[in-house]
Amino acid sequence: MTTSNACTLSEALLKYAQAVDSFKFFFTTAIKDSKSEFSNFPDAVRLLSSTDPLEEVIERVSKDCLTTLVTDEVTLVKSLPHLQALQGYPTVINVDLSLQDYSVIPFFKDFSIPILISSDEKIFAINAQRSLEIASKCLRPVLHFINAKNLKGQVEADVKPTELAEEPTDLDALDLGNKFDVTSSSKAPTTAIINFSAYNFAPVLSDDTSLVHINVYRPWSIHDLLAVLPASIRKIAVTQSTNQKSEQNGFEPLLLDFFQDFDFLISRNIDQVIISNIGLITDLSTVLSEVVANVNSREPSPSLFFGEPVKEKEPVEELSSLKNVLDLENAYMKVIRQLFTSNLNILNEYTSKTAQQNNPEYGYGLFLNENRRREELVSLARRSLDPSLYGTADAASFVQLLGKWISYHDQALEESSLTEANIVSQQTFEFLQKHSDSKRASEFLQLGSTKESYVFKSTWLVGSDSWSYDLGNSGVHQVLSGRKNINVLLIDSEPFERRKETQQRKKDVGLYAMNFGHVYVASVAVYSSYSQLLTAFIEASRYNGPSIVLAYLPYHSEKDTPLEILKETKKAVGSGYWPLYRYDPSKEENESFALDSSVIRRELQSFLDRENRLTLLSKKYPDFSRNLVQSASDRVTKKQEGRAKQAYEQLLEGLSGPPFHVYFASDGGNAASLAKRLSNRAAARGLKATCQSMGEIDLEDLPGEENVIFVTSTAGQGEFPQDGKGFWDTLKGSTDLDLGSLNFAVFGLGDSLYWPRKEDKHYYNRPSRELFKKLELLAAKAIIPLGQGDDQDADGFQTAYGPWEDELWEALGVSGANVGDEPKPWTNEDMKINSDFLRGTIVQGLEDESTGTIHAYDQQLTKFHGCYMQDDRDVRDVRKAQGMEPYYAFMVRLRLPGGKASPEQWLILDKLSNENGNGTMKLTTRATFQLHGVVKRNLKQTIRGMNSTLMDTLAACGDVTRNVMLSSIPHNAKVHEQISKFGHKVSEHFLPNTTAYHEIWLNGVDDRDYDPNWPSIFENRKEGPTKKKTKVGGDALVDFEPIYGPSYLPRKFKVNITVPPYNDVDVWSSDVGLVTIVDPETQEVTGYNMYVGGGMGTTHNNKKTYPRTGSLFGYLPSSDVIKAIEGVMVIQRDNGDRVDRKHARLKYTIDDMGVDVYKAKVEEYTGKKFEPARPFEIKDNHDYFGWVKDETGLNHFTAFIENGRVEDTVDLPQKTGLKKIAQLMQKYGSGHFRLTGNQHVVVSGIKDEHLDEVKKILHKYKLDNTEFSPLRMHSASCVGLPTCGLAMAESERYFPVLIDKIEGILEELGLRHDSIVMRITGCPNGCSRPWLGEVGLIGKAPETYNLMLGGGYYGQRINKLYRASVKEEEILEILTHLFKRWSQEREEGEHFGDFLIRVGVIAPTLEGKYFHDDIPEENE
């Protein structure tokens, strides 16, 4: 190192390349004679840009040396398909932005490769060091784009010797420093300029403006960008350097990065994001002023271009209006033009006056004509390689040139090769023109009189999805079967929802093409993976033969915005409807198929590994190849369907009586069950009865069905349930359907109080009412009047249904039929008592590989084993529309008494969540773990894995005593140890005694066990699930439940233990709540105050259901408490409601019997009297974050985990951080984790000597942030959508967004540091205990909630309904008003909930049974 670090750019790049002892250095040039400073460096390897340089680099890279490549943006784009092969190798690619074209940088956005941008000397010095650090520590490639023209003079290169890491470091673990440089012209600017260009606008920055330079483009987070912007920003204008004017009204790949999180943009009140392209400019001030003016105008132009293009480009006529957001299909056309520039030939270019754009046959015919002429030229050339034919002095050199021109016809030409070939073509044509008097040259010019006859092009046909019909007879078939070197781009613009309405179904062109065996095929989506799209275009053009690229661009109209298209695309790709893949038959068989969409990658990859035959894709994966097996015409299919229907009708003819068709639309299952029961009763009366979903109705056949009965429930805001929407939408839009021959009846299920506000009353039973009116309008004859069931009636909908059904039989003349008694439907009680102690047919269901689900009864039984079967509701509708069953998966919940987990337990859960779950871990509101997304085939291995570290899932759910929850109190080790042991003892005492759990999940050896010792671990565990049956008379071995009996409990039973002054377990919310009484002198636990009868679950507008806080029974010494809990539970077991599960919880039993009566029965059972309650004080019910040291000297850190979701995100890589902490605990043999009832985690038992290491990990992975607002830290949410089957609205995914907005309100009112307890659930079952929040939101319908107010700050008082069925705007409006009053009118130390009650905003709920009293008149 010299005394000065200043050097040229090339010298600096060489210095950084040599920072590692073992290194390789490559650089590219256009030709061999190009001058380069790197040529003088003996270890530098020159690569020609036209000879696929990156492929050679890939062949030479190794993991034990640093590889550096210096190239330009054009060469890198052409090498794009190779980039992925560099993953896992320490490589720095320095890219000179020689054309000043920053728009190429987003081409590489989806490769998971860090991308740095240096536009001046200062940033270069930082980014060069960043590149070295990332490559050497993370052992991965880095792209460093450098604007060399801006780096005038010398640069600083303070390079320090570096070593390659032995193991790669996570990129997220590196501190990349400032990703953005921000300059503001005022304190509260409203416009932000995001500078993605070669120019520095800082000196001319206008007023009210911020300027941001992007220095680190990947990893990218819109959150990171917005975090550095002033909160006052409302408009964002992006200035992007490009070498040519954009031609598609605003679409740019960079735009997708700003749409990464729409909700977050909205939450920041940013209402405009516009990209303006910049060519060569001189007047920076004027350009900047126009950019700012445009983004702030009422109708900003999305396609501004300033300056002059770097190079000339042929103008393209704009066909779309300036009012449109963008010319949608140009999202693809732009990519092709950028890639192939002047070497592109679009046969049916829309600017052509003669090309028939919608006709592939025409375009292909044009190509064949051109190709025929070219073949004649080539044939002539092959006969013309004799210099004597030309009679010129330079004939010999021309013959060599001509031979080279001929050779290009046998090569696969990509863009770089095309350019080189066309130089030869130009020289060939010029020679022929120059010597046109030669006979042979004249013959050439007669066949090809223009330069275009000799050049090489990437030739494309561009078409729409209309080409997807009747493939066997279409021009597409001709193109694909012709084996010519031609490319087809087929843009599919039809949203998936419209496909099912199409009578003539489209064919899967991709699979159709792959079955030819000689066609390159790619399926792409520009709004899903831009890099995959670029790779596909380059590979398609390079392939020497026919290729087809299927491009997805779903839009409902030409005016759709990029946001709308992006949402449609995400749904299609995310559901597996539009898979992203590439098929190259020129590659080895095992490498020919590449699947690029992660949602279905596992399924198809496992298939390919197993079968290795693409032609079987349609057989194994019907969702991947929807229509390949269909014939060229749908008439054959329709004929087959007709025959099947005719056979079915003949079968029905064997029955007497008229036909009776029942159709249902059902969300929760009530309408479906009622329809099936009605159908069975009709069959018993001799009618030819069928029962199907409304989704199966064929409107063409409906007029001939004679008698049709419709049963529908009411969803959302008076909408049809999902399985009836399609039928209703079609029927509603029908004007010429004649139903004069149809007799019909309609019964609707609704709740007259579900929408209690007067303006919402019309939602009640609206589907049934509208259906009845529409059928009458279409001349159908009503058999009987409309029937409407009301959940508010004494017997629910049965009150109206019974008379309606009787009238129906009377009208059909079958009321007097002799019908035997119907068997009573099986209830949960029947299921439990007949389950053979929780076995059911679970084993058989697990073995059934034909479906991802299990029997409905087994779904109830597996809850006792800790498993809930769920499905992904985000893709439910799409999968159903595809004819696929829902994406079933299980939630697996642990029984974790006391919420304590060892590092080994944490690590096994981390591994299982990644391999078998959805990659996250959920900390629950009962201080245990849940894994989501465990499919059936992985369920047993997951449960065995949990048990391998002495955790089990038995009784984590079901009608038993569930997980025992207790206070985390990290500051008091002695008391925590006592209550922890006691909680464990309670859990083991009430654990079901059945051996079914061990028998189903743990018995024997399983070849998927991580360790062969697992079976011995299970067998040698002293506690936990019972392994052996009980011996009874006659030496028979049987299961025996001494406490529960064979039918277990009527409903779930929960025990919470708190330690005053903390109530972090919401002690009043559970069936039994224990308040720990501690001797202040000795810190010994003497006993507990017992509260009985708490419970949270309710049903919307069912006044028979309500939340309840526990009633005080009194104090008991510790030794008597378990017996007393048993007494409470046994009395509930024998007296709880086993008929109505909505009335089965202990809270209703205790209110029905009376508190005093129930208490006396418990005392009678235990033989002990409750003593008067001991005094105690509760101050709050939330967690305290940060570090504390207990009296033994051990340290504990409570970490904030928002809504309990342990996951890795760009902003918060917390899952990895907690894994690192668990590994550190394991290394030192000390420390553990505690979960809290508020969904957070305590890193516990850390010794002083390990404290610094733990703190570094906490900081590195952003786990040490305790600066969140009290509102956020004291909030809680249930899981909600997409996995919970009960959720009516979003909760966990939506709550952080809502909290952001409320924090802004509190900030403006000076209340940001004031504590408010706020909770949300997606339904009224109350998993996050929302009824105890000062503010509670209860999901009622999509984006609609009941707003609850007035809960007690420390969980002592239930809240009450303030407004029903409100959306976000109204929620924020109400809370803003009330927060403002609180800030101005509250008394000293008065909490929000208490304030609302004192000033009369809401009445207090003094007892659970009065929960529905005194609600505001607006909800009456």
Q: Which residues have a catalytic role annotated? A: 893, 962, 1052, 1054, 1278, 1284, 1323, 1327
- Start-end of H helices in 1261-1367: 1270-1273, 1295-1308
CB 1278 within 8 A of CB 1227: no
Helix (H/G/I), strand (E/B), else coil: 1337: strand
Tokens 């980014």 label which residue?
Answer: 127
- Give Cα 470 to chain centroid, integer Å: 35
- Give Cα 1364 to chain centroid, integer Å: 29
CA distances from 466 to 220, 336, 476, 494 (A): 38, 21, 11, 10
Q: Based on the number of CB atoms within 10 Å of its own CB, is 445 exposed (0-12), middle (13-18) or buried (19 or more)?
A: middle
What is residue 1180's DSSP assignment? B
CA distance 535 to 911: 33
Beta-sheet strands, E only, within 321-365: 344-346
Residues with Cβ < 8 Å from 408, sequence gap 6 or more?
417, 421, 424, 456
Among residues 1239, 1233, 1238, which one has the least CA distance to residue 1196?
Answer: 1233
CB 240 within 8 A of CB 102: yes
CA distance 376 to 382: 10
CA distance 1263 to 1256: 10
- Start-end of H helices in 486-576: 496-499, 509-514, 530-542, 562-575
For residue 1077 the two structure tokens come to: 């009484």
Tokens 């859990």 label which residue?
Answer: 987
CA distance 650 to 657: 14
CA distance 272 to 1057: 51
Q: Which helix (H) or strand (E) holds 1129?
A: helix 1118-1135
CB 278 within 8 A of CB 306: yes
What is the phi-psi region of residue 981: left when phi exceeds 0, alpha when psi lies from -120 to 50, beta otherwise? alpha
Tokens 């409601």 label which residue?
Answer: 1137
For residue 912 the two structure tokens come to: 């299982």
For residue 299 the two structure tokens come to: 């109708």
Helix (H/G/I), strand (E/B), else coil: 550: strand
Tally Cβ neighbours within 10 Å of residue 365.
15
Exposed e or buried b for every residue in 1164-1180, given b needs 16+ CB within 10 A? ebbebebeebbeeebeb
814-818 long-range Cβ contacts below 8 angstroms, 24+ apart: 814/657, 814/682, 814/685, 814/686, 814/687, 817/684, 817/685, 817/686
Max Cα-Cα span within the chain: 125
| Interstrand relation of 458-464 and 1335-1341 (parallel, antiparallel or unpaired) | unpaired
CA distance 868 to 891: 5
| Interstrand relation of 272-278 and 235-241 (parallel, antiparallel or unpaired) | parallel
- Start-end of H helices in 1177-1277: 1214-1228, 1251-1260, 1270-1273
Tally Cβ neighbours within 10 Å of residue 231.
10
